[in-house]
Chain A
Amino acid sequence: MSLTRFLISLFLPTFQLQKSLRNLVQPGVVKRVKGVVRAAIVQMEYSPVSNVNGFIELINRFLMKMTDFGPDIVVFPHLMDSFFFRVFPLFLLIGTRHHVKAIKETSRTTSEICERTMAEFSKIWNCTVVFGTTQGHKVYHVGNRQSHLLETKEYKMAVVSRKTLNNSIQLDHLVSSGVRIIATPGFGVVNYSDWDERYHMWAHSQMVGFYGLCSAVSGRFLGKDLKARACVTAPIPITNSFDGYIVKNSSTTGDTVLLAELDMNKIESFVQSRKFPTFHYSKG
């Protein structure tokens, strides 16, 4: 284990990260509109990097696509530290008895690099950044670590796992407490099905009433072809084309940044109009 950690710290030195963070793309000047929250959702094609510089370059590729948009919320995919697997000495871990636990423990370093990069990015861009690593989902707001429930002047957002997206009762508790945006950093799957994808974020956006932000990673990962589709969902009546999507990636592969403007007044009206009705039981 210590040899693994030593090798990782050799490949990914801290001083190099400090230097590389200065190369992060700077945001453009964008006028804010009251009542509108801007969200950028990232879908990444898996392409492992060899060092910290490579990782910053990778992140910059996506930031460049949103400089003129001025996002309030950016959602990157889950398992962002898996992009370091090229420098990860997997051969030392796979095959050992507890290799999953070992990978998780040794990936603290790579997870920390991701966190520091995203923290710096959220600080420079004055926004909220949501992503995931092998250590779990993370939220940073203007450089500070946040819980999975974040409240600002403009919005209240929750970051939930894909499993929670199947639970209307839990989601309803969040919406009842004022949450209007739910984000899930996603990762591709081998047996991709459009129906399954629709069921999670899309169907529950309709049932409970919230804006759903879903990021993704696709491509070849550890010998398997992953597919996914990043999207921003909303209740059908408040979407322009009545399809329940503000924006959706047209492909299940490739690099994409989806940009969406979320009208908080519209979602508020929808939620208020969908309060649970009081029915009386009648019998003939």
Chain B
Amino acid sequence: MRFLLGRQIVLKEFYYTDLAISWIEEPVAGASNYLIGNERGYMYVAANSDELHYGGDFDFLTTPFGKIAVICCTKPVHWQLIHNAKKAEVILTVVFQNASSVSDLLLSKAICWGSSREFNLPIALLVNRADTLQYQFSVPGQGKDHSGLVIDSTTTCMIDMDVSKTESGLFFSVRSFAEG
């Protein structure tokens, strides 16, 4: 699965994107699927279908890539929600959050990173803090020095992620290949 995390900027790679995950904005033609949201709710749009899914709070989405959990919140995400997502066998959890303070922003990042590692689950966090969007993507065992932190920035990023399911659990392979 190739996905874009952040603003839907028209990079040449954008036309091969399976899923664009963005803070709420008008979808830009080019990706196959869109997940856009904010702290109040989300919308899932498939480009080749009339289907439209929307929801809020804590929800599950069935996509062609697998099950995805979506969390929309105004307070730092609770680890038990991520644990519930894991129990529902999702392949990815996406968190949309509006942070009222820097400490809430940092706490959310810490909780998502720790939960990703403990529950062996990729977590994409999109936080709006004082009209600046921050993106963090945590995948267990991936990233620099196997830190589990693939991206932590304010810029858009393209990511290739493969999920393999075996008897001993989920395995992830991630490559971040373009930053805008």
B side interface size, CB within 8 A: 35
Contacts A242-B102, A284-B52; A206 near B145 (Cβ below 8 A): no
Contacts A195-B146, A237-B103; A280 near B57 (Cβ below 8 A): yes
How near does chain A come to B147, taking the closest CB pair, in angstroms? 4
CB-CB under 8 A from B52, the residues of chain A are 284
B97 within 8 Å of A (CB atoms): no
CB-CB under 8 A from B113, the residues of chain A are 203
Partner of B55, one of A199, A244, A277, A284: A284
Interface size range on A against B: 20 to 34
> Which residues of chain A from 186 to 210 have any CB-CB distance to chain B below 8 Å in the complex?
193, 195, 199, 202-204, 206-208
Centre residue among B80, B83, B114, B146 by max chain A CB count within 10 A: B114
CB-CB under 8 A from B60, the residues of chain A are 281
CB-CB under 8 A from B43, the residues of chain A are 284
B104 within 8 Å of A (CB atoms): yes
Contact A237 B107 (CB under 8 A): yes
Contact A283 B145 (CB under 8 A): no
How near does chain A come to B90, taking the closest CB pair, in angstroms? 14
A31 within 8 Å of B (CB atoms): no
A91 within 8 Å of B (CB atoms): no
Contact A236 B59 (CB under 8 A): no
A279 within 8 Å of B (CB atoms): yes
Partner of A208, one of B76, B79, B147: B79
Contact B103 A236 (CB under 8 A): yes
Contacts A195-B146, A237-B107, A282-B55; A168 near B118 (Cβ below 8 A): yes
Query: Chain A residues in contact with chain B, CB under 8 A?
Result: 166-169, 172, 193, 195, 199, 202-204, 206-208, 235-237, 242, 244, 274, 276-277, 279-284
Query: Chain B residues in contact with chain A, CB under 8 A?
Result: 43, 52-60, 73, 75-76, 78-81, 83, 101-104, 106-107, 110-111, 113-115, 117-118, 145-148
Chosen A-B contacts, 23 in total, with CB atoms closer than 8 Å, are A168-B79, A168-B118, A169-B83, A195-B146, A203-B117, A204-B114, A207-B110, A207-B111, A208-B79, A237-B101, A237-B103, A237-B104, A242-B102, A242-B103, A276-B78, A279-B58, A279-B81, A281-B59, A281-B60, A282-B55, A282-B56, A282-B57, A283-B59
